[in-house]
Amino acid sequence: MFKFKKKTTTELDYNNIPKHIAIIMDGNGRWAQQRHLPRIAGHKKGMNVVKDITKAASDLGVKALTLYAFSTENWKRADQEVNYLMDLPEKFFSTFVPDLVKNNVKVNVMGYVDQLPKSTQNAINNAIEDTKDCDGMILNFALNYGSQDEIVTAVQNIAKKVSDGILNVEDINKEVVSDNLMTSSLGEFANPDLLIRTSGEERLSNFLLWQVAYSEFVFDDTKWPDYTKEDLINCIAKFQGRHRRFGGL
Ligand SMILES: Cc1cc(N2CCCCCC2)n2ncc(-c3ccc(F)cc3)c2n1
């Protein structure tokens, strides 16, 4: 049931650290279930792993780290679990903002934030304000996010610009679409170089569908609550071990 990991030291090429890493932090519920704990115990442990991996990624020189924290589909879960999850951003920032500032990490949140509880929105806005002058790694939380909704919203915004005479139909291209996605605030780091999904599932689950067109995917069997800096390094090593092509030879 519990796999003991062989300690290995992996050498990374620090000239080829993926600039933007996106992570689907999966396996929290199953981690708790295997230990006969309530699901929220997995989320609680998972939040502490977010802190560890944020620090690890920043130390490794990652420029942007996107974490899939809550999808638009997660509202279907039990009320008790959703209520607990909605408190996590506040809990995270109440203890971690000083560390983020110390590590020069800038907070960004993408998703339909206006649909979240006001207390959650306030915690997010305060953290964004407190870290706005940080110019190190961007910690980008996907919260109440869904890629298909994101694309529909982008199409609606572009159509409005055309009807308002701001944009001509023939001027709509890939850059215009990208500029209207929620990741546009990440600038040159909008598209992940590496997408990691933990706990062995090999699905995108409506995450960054447009942005991952040329990303490398690494699926790690480790459940998120057990994920460590060593696991992140191993995933980056797999990324570095692949010959990356952008559609060319
Ligand atoms: C809903 C949710 C769940 C959540 N889990 C812990 C990580 C595993 C995935 C599920 C549970 N975490 N962890 C951190 C946040 C968070 C989100 C936004 C923000 F601005 C600051 C922190 C979070 N949010």
pLDDT tens for residues 20-57? 999 999 999 999 999 999 999 999 999 999 999 999 99
Q: Which residues of the chain have pLDDT under 50?
A: none
Distance 15 CA to ligand 1 centre (A): 30
pLDDT score at 64: 98
pLDDT score at 10: 74
- Contact partners, residue 188, CB within 8 Å, separation at least 6: none
Residue 186's Cβ-side half-sphere holds a number of Cα atoms within 13 Å equal to 27
pLDDT score at 151: 98
pLDDT score at 245: 54
145 lines ligand 1 (CB under 6 A): no
Q: Is 32 helix (H, G, I), strand (E, B) or coil?
A: helix
Residues marked active site are found at 26, 74
141 lines ligand 1 (CB under 6 A): yes
pLDDT score at 74: 97
Distance 110 CA to ligand 1 centre (A): 12
Distance 12 CA to ligand 1 centre (A): 28
Q: What's this model's pTM, rounded to 2 decimal places?
A: 0.95
203-217 per-position pLDDT tens digit: 999 999 999 999 999
50 lines ligand 1 (CB under 6 A): yes
DSSP per-residue string spanning 68-111: EEEEGGGGGS-HHHHHHHHHHHHHHHHHHHHHHHHTTPEEEEES
Tokens of 126: 């305060």
